[in-house]
Each structure stands twice: as structure tokens, then as C-alpha cells.
Structure 1
């Protein structure tokens, strides 16, 4: 359905496996009938789950959505390390994991909870000297990324499966002869984490700590901030107009609210700093017009609201 170029809002999409986040944006552009579409928080093609998409002026909200905490469900395979720390990479090493005790796994996971320093996976979108790390890696350039602080609020095992996998052959250290089988361990896990956390890196670091290597075989994002994947639309045949969240509704879930008078709304739209009755705040504070429209996000100092970003009146909702 064409929702029209005048419609603004946030669309929650359940991204299917096998396509990029950019592919999702392209399909939403076509369905919404507008070029101004963006997303917050990339998902790899292998991953599924929640992708937050902004349409028209609501793309201005995406900057404030990227940094929200997130939840994931994933499967980690212990015993195999790959070049990308997930199943899409080439096998680096295969190690029999039959001797890994559950107590060691529990200890390894416990060490990765809380505030930690994490080295992002080499095949990531982080820029190094102006180029994406994954692009440099594809060119054969050795990329060394610096550790970054992240917070892992939850990292729990939901299920464990001991599996026999076929060794890839002599090209991977420890693989043995082609056709041989190796004992591996699959862990279904749930992770709550801060923005910027790489779940692939958690799999890699757990495997390294246990001495057997590890990588991610499945990943699903189930939450971004207050938005669950249960509320997301299926991409195929999505009715954009019917599934859009009004920018006001989104802002009210994320920020403190400042009700505006009609004159304050006009002043703010003209770039002025209207006087308001509200405690000082660096913001963002959601400034809402009398008719319930998101006028902008503001900071407040000495009783005056200063625009951080204004929102034009392009909301169209039934």
C-alpha cells in the first residue's frame, strides 16, 4: 500500500534472514511511496528480528533510537572459530569440545556479564581511516579494532545441545581428515546489552576463553528499547500506513514530555526559544503541541526551550 509522501512515522519491521538492512529500507521506500526512509541499528543478512525504520521527518528520530539498549536470542557453537565470528565466515579452526564442562561454560559466560571491554568483530561497520572495517577485511587488510566499553545486563543459556559435526577438512587447524566428525556444543542464549555490543564477539570471546573457539550460528533481535519484535510487521506485503507509529507516540515512550501552548508551538517552529515552565534539562525533551503533534525535541535552560530538532507537520494518521 502507498501511504503517501506526506506521512511520517516509525515502522517496526521483523527483518527476514538473507537480506540486508538496506534491502529492507528499499522495500519500505517502495511500499511507502517516498524516498526519505532510514533505519536505526543494522542487522547482518544472517540475522532476523527487529529493525526500526523511520519515514519522512521521523528519520530525525533515528539518531535517538540507535543508542537504545537491545535484546537478542542467539545460538553459539563452541568448537569452531570462523573469520567473521559467525556461520557466514570461513572456518579458522576446529577443536573437539567434548571435554568442556558446563561449569566452565557458566564461568566463561559470567565473566562476560556486566561492564566489559569488547573488541568488535573484524567484519563490522566500524570505520577505520574512513573505511568500513568489513571493506578493509575483504581487501585483505589486517584490521585491528580497539576495545570499547559495553554493558551486558543479561547473558543466559536457555539450552545446550552436544552435537557431532562434519569436519571441513585439512585446511582448518584441528579439522582432521575430510568426512571426520568432531564434537561441538551448541548453546541457545539470550542477551540484554547496551548499544554497540557485538553478539558475534561474545561468541568468539566465550570460545576463546574455553580454549575451543566459538562462533554465532543464529541471531534474532527481539527488542530495541521499549519496542519488542512482537509488535513488528512482516516485511512482505507490509501495509505501511496501517503499521506506522506516530512520532508523538514514539517520543512520549522515550523522553520526558513538555506540553506547549499554541503560541509556544509557533515560536518553536520559527526557531525561537519560548519561555516554559519545566526543570532545566539537556534533553531531549519531547515538545508536544495542543493538538498532540510532536513539534520538536528540545533542551531547557533557565526556563527557555531550545530546539534540538524540529518536526514539520507531515503526520498523516487515520
Structure 2
């Protein structure tokens, strides 16, 4: 099935949003993109800038959103403030953007009838009692950012009950090119240090585990969710495999060929010990499965001259 429709992508100049836009443009879709460029970067869209309608704006601007969606049938909603440490100091701003801004889109979907696929987060689970984590497991956020994502899920369920088609994707640890330094995951941070021939720095003992999923697989999950006949659901988007941060550091070092050893810093406050997605539901209902292996990608990236464009 090909989407023969006009599409809006919010947060389109960010890491995940820009990759979704690239995919849509490459297959010939009519794409309008919205970003306030507070954390997103216009250069993330440089290769396709002449093929999109770029709007510099905020998801809290209801009237602007209404102008953009009045003939739209699909919205990929990626716009959010997403820094866990920052969220402790900016609780009101995070709620305003992530919850009120998201509800604007849900309200407009009720009025105009478009389908939404939006970015939720594995952070809604908090510190899981057991792994792998299933979609119906307890959701107990442990930071303000995660709490806003849980509030969005409550809203999604509420609006689905009055006819809005909305699917939430609970991203686990997404990696790939173009992650911003502000919101960089551990892989980007390790690569930046390796690039300078410095040892990867680990917070704590490094035995905490994470499920890393590649950006291309995340984009595919978004597309399959939008193209599906499913009206409302939440899906884990991970690989079903995890790696400790210590092992990850050693994989990066080995791929670089440098004679280094990881160094350890203090444990981060509120850092969870284990994260691993149960991907049974997304595999079954969307016929999705991850294709990019973490070690293969790392080897490819590190082999490139000067690690360009990480």
C-alpha cells in the first residue's frame, strides 16, 4: 500500500523526524514539515529542502497547526522536548510542549479525520520489574520527560475512544546518523570520544543494559503503522536484544582498532538498570522486524574517514 495523501511531519528537523521525511520524499509523497528549530537543525533536511514545504513553527500554535492539517490525511508526530536531565529543571515547559502540543494534534485529528503515528517512549515503563518488557506491563515513569510521554498515552487512548486513529510507538534506544549532541545517546557519545582517540566514558559500572534499534528500522515501523488498518495501539520499537554499556564500549573500541580501555564515571541519578523490548506485538500486527545489526553499523561507521556525519 502506498500513501496517496498529503503528509505532515512535526519535529521534522530532528533526528528521527528528518529520517522519516527523507523516506517519504524519496518515494514521492507530498510532505509538509513543521519544526521550531529549537533543537532540530535545518541542515538535517538540506538534501531534500527543495522537495518539501518547510514551516518554522510550534506545535503549541493551534491556529498554525489547523492551517497545516486542513487537507492532510496523515501526521507523523515527532516534535517533543526530549532531554531527561533538562526535564527536571523545565517541568512546566516539558508539559506544555509534550502534552499540550500533542493534544492540539489529537484535537485537530478529531475535527479533520487524519491518522496519527506519534513518538512515545520506552521511558514510560520506568524501571521494569521484568524483562523483556511487554506493551501491557506496568508504566511507572521515573522522570518528568517520561511522565509527559505517559500523559500523551492517556490522551491517545481518550481520543481513540471518540474516533481518532492514533498509534503510539514506544521507541527504545534509537541510534544512527544525525543525533543531536544535546540529546545524543550513548553510542554517539562513545563515537565522539573514539574520534578523538579517547576512551569511552561509562556512567557507573556499565552493567546496565539497553536495547538499541537503528533509525532505518524506526522509520519503517512508522510507515508500517501508518499504512496499517489498525486504529489504535501502542507498539514497542526495539530489537528484542540487549547489550550492556560496558560491552558496547568494548565493541566500539574493538571496531576502532585503538588500544583503549573504557573509563568509568559516577552513576547517573535515575538511570535504569535494564531495558529490553518484547517485540512480539509489532512483529505480529505490523509484520515488522529489525534489519540493521548494531555491530555491523558500528564497524561501517568507524571505517569511514573521520567518522563523517555521525
TM-score higher than 0.5: no
**Into which bin does the TM-score normalised by the smaller protein fall?**
under 0.3
**Structure label with greater radius of gyration:** 1
Larger fraction in helix: 2
